[in-house]
């Protein structure tokens, strides 16, 4: 069995070109310990198509690229251009645990509030 060497995920979540998108796909695949052949078989695409996607060397259809990203655990977001930098900064801060420029940590989901039981809700 071939040993898979993990590659780094792009540090910037803003994927501005096919090469950066391909690097994210490769990083997810190698982090999962999957060879190119195994991942292609799992995704139901040819090894050459996955290689082309990772290297950005050929035109791969958007539906194939997005499905490969989803199935390998790479999230792809769309945001209006006006929101690009705040969203980008939030994702970087959340990934690194840095503050969000205000001296506070990025927003975390609030814990659920305790629910009142049906018997107590009607009593005063």
Report d(CA 119, CA 124) in Å as an integer.
11
Question: What CATH class does 13-99 carry?
Answer: mainly alpha
pLDDT digits (tens, 9 = 90+) for 14-70: 999 999 999 999 999 999 999 999 999 999 999 999 999 999 998 999 999 999 999
Domain ranges of the chain: 13-99
Whether 28 contacts 53, CB under 8 Å = no
- CA pair distance 20, 54, nearest whole angstrom: 9
What does the chain come to in residues? 124
pTM higher than the cut 0.85:
no
């Amino acid at each position: 069995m071939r040993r898979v060497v993990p590659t780094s995920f792009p540090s910037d979540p803003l994927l501005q070109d096919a090469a950066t998108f391909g690097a994210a796909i490769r990083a997810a695949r190698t982090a999962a310990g999957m060879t190119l052949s195994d991942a292609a078989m799992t995704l139901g695409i040819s090894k050459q198509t996955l290689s082309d996607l990772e290297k950005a060397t050929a035109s791969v259809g958007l539906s194939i690229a997005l499905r490969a990203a989803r199935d390998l655990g790479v999230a792809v977001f769309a945001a209006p251009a006006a929101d690009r930098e705040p969203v980008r900064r939030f994702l970087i801060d959340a990934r690194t645990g840095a503050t969000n420029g205000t001296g506070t940590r990025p927003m975390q989901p609030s814990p659920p509030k305790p629910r009142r039981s049906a018997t107590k809700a009607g009593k005063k």
